[in-house]
Amino acid sequence: MSEIFGIPIQAFMGQLMLGLVNGSFYAMLSLGLAVIFGMLNIINFTHGALYMVGAFGAWLGLTYLELGYWQALLLSPICVGIFGIVIERSMLQWLYKLDHLYGLLLTFGLALVLEGLFTNIFGVSGQPYSIPDELSGAFNLGFMFLPKYRAWVIVASLVVCFVTWFVIEKTQLGAYLRAATENPKLTQAFGINVPLMVMLTYGFGAALAGFAGVLAAPAIQVSPLMGSNLIIVVFAVVVIGGMGSILGSILTGIGLGVIEGLTKVFYAEASSTVVFIIMAIVLMIRPAGLFGKEK
Amino acid sequence: MTSATEYLRVSDLHAFYGESHVLHGMDFTVNRGECISLLGRNGAGRTTTLRAILGLTGRRTGSIMLNGREVINMASHRIAQLGVGYCPEERGIYSSLSCEENLLLPPQVASGGLSLDEIYAMFPNLWERRNSQGTRLSGGEQQMLAMARILRTGARLLLLDEISEGLAPVIVQKLGEVIRKLKERDYTIVLVEQNFRFAAPLADRMYIVEHGQIAAEVAQGELATKQHLLQEYLGV
């Protein structure tokens, strides 16, 4: 068997794959956070909870409504998005003129409420959600077996990230969004309905978290705390990539997933801290993050 | 003048930024197709007047009739959609948008705006720089961009704030020509200016603003006889 740096190639590729899968989730979640932060100036601590709600949406749909994975992949994010819009209209919209801290506190509180609610109803132990038949099994790549579901997660996340990036950077709607992010008052004075865009942006960010949740459901167990386990790393990703940068959050998300995965191969003890070590170094060298602009 | 041609009537307009009371009962009218200028010293309330018309200040009271509709309680985007184009003093060019994206940003609010080709014919520099980042343009180019982007939308009332400020004479001259062309096309224009020499030949009437109120009105034909007013308020 061939080796890379003394590591069996199969172990190396396996961890690389896992890293890419984790990176895909980091990318989708930090992308949503970046879009929301840009538009609303709110650090959305509810994001992890929305991801969890998305996963539960899929599980509830399957258990009580017999909705399959593919229906869940469409319906659950829509429901989470609508839930996000309700949150924005009923609570967040009153905070825009205040300090970042208030939005952070409110969304953090909401996350605790949601997680508490789901823990009360469903307990802390995870609910299993099986991989759809089409995506079970693995591809034999010769040097390794690639589980089909992992490949699907990576592809789906890359497509979603690319489409989001494309819409924001290359279309007229995206130009409105960038303009409203940079100078909301003037943009509104040009006749663009900025409050509506802000509401839809939060809904979209929430839907993106919900989508990631559905993707995660078959890969890990559906549990009320799945979001809070992930969100801390995702915040580190956002800080490293640079607050509010679209491309930055995607690339950093995937890149850090890979780095984290490879650390497991070379020095497993550091794998859960490596992201934060990188964050500390990046903050020392570039306080605005790798892709962020200094204000 | 009959009220039928009246396009904008501002009456007893008060505006606030937080606690500070900036406009103290502005009263003026602009007729359709007319170009008026608000002259005055820095801090007199001219910029605030434009911002208040668009709902960009804090609390406002009084009345702003735009083409027969009361807009004092409308949200900014609704007012803009009634056909108001705004060129802010700081120009407001977006750094996250390219020159052409800046140009195409304001949505069309009515038919009859200039086409992109006409705009590029009027401002050839913008065609050359269309793919540059908005804020990489020179000051003069940014000013032209800020003007040009509101001509596309079909807005009939243009609020132009200090467009000649800090620009080379040749560019100021160019902007003067543009305003003459717009007057020929029957645009209604409110020109906020410090530069009396720029505004005087363009404006049909001039209002002098002092302490958030209109202190005097000077029509184009009265420039010679009311010279003392201009001297007193503006030092020109």
Q: What is the pLDDT of residues B69-113, one digit of tens each?
A: 999 999 999 999 999 999 999 999 999 899 999 999 999 888 888
Domain residue ranges in chain A:
8-285
Question: What residues contact A295, with CB distance under 8 A and at least 6 apart?
Answer: A288
In a domain, B37, yes or no: yes
In a domain, B94, yes or no: no
For strand A7-8 and strand A3-4, is the pairing parallel, antiparallel, or unpaired? antiparallel
In a domain, B90, yes or no: no
In a domain, B117, yes or no: no
Q: Do B96 and A182 touch (CB under 8 A)?
A: yes
In a domain, B186, yes or no: no
pLDDT for the residue B1: 45
In a domain, B121, yes or no: no
Nearest-CA distance from B177 to chain A in Å?
A: 24
A to B CB pairs, distance under 8 Å: 61
Nearest to A189 among B80, B97, B109 (CB): B80
**Predicted ipTM?**
0.88
Mean pLDDT (chain B) is 89
DSSP element (H, E) containing B61: strand B60-66
**Number of CB atoms found within 10 A of residue A98's CB:** 12
Q: Which two tokens stand for residue B198?
A: 């720029």
Residues of chain B with pLDDT under 50: 1-4
Cβ of residue A193 closer than 8 Å to a chain B Cβ? yes
In a domain, B7, yes or no: yes
Query: What is the per-residue pLDDT across B170-185, written as a single tens digit (0 to 9) for each?
Result: 889 989 999 999 999 8
Number of domains in chain B: 1
Question: What's the CATH code of the domain at B34?
Answer: 3.40.50.300
pLDDT for the residue A96: 81
The 3-class SS string of B109-140 reads CCCCCCCHHHHHHHCHHHHHCCCCEHHHCCHH
Domain that holds residue B217: 1-82+194-236
The model carries a pTM of 0.86
Q: Which of A237, A231, A230, A232 is nearest to A279 (CA)?
A: A237
* Mutation target among B17, B71, B77 for the A interface, most CBs of A within 10 A: B77
Distance CA A79, CA A74 (A): 9
User: Looking only at Cα atoms, what is the longest distance across chain A?
Assistant: 66
Cβ of residue A173 closer than 8 Å to a chain B Cβ? no
CATH number of A8-285: 1.10.3470
Cβ of residue B116 closer than 8 Å to a chain A Cβ? no
Nearest to B104 among A172, A182, A192 (CB): A172
Residues of chain A with pLDDT under 50: none
Nearest to B54 among A172, A189, A195 (CB): A189
Cβ of residue B105 closer than 8 Å to a chain A Cβ? yes
Distances (CA, A) of B130 to A95, A206, A225, B88, B95: 37, 35, 49, 21, 13
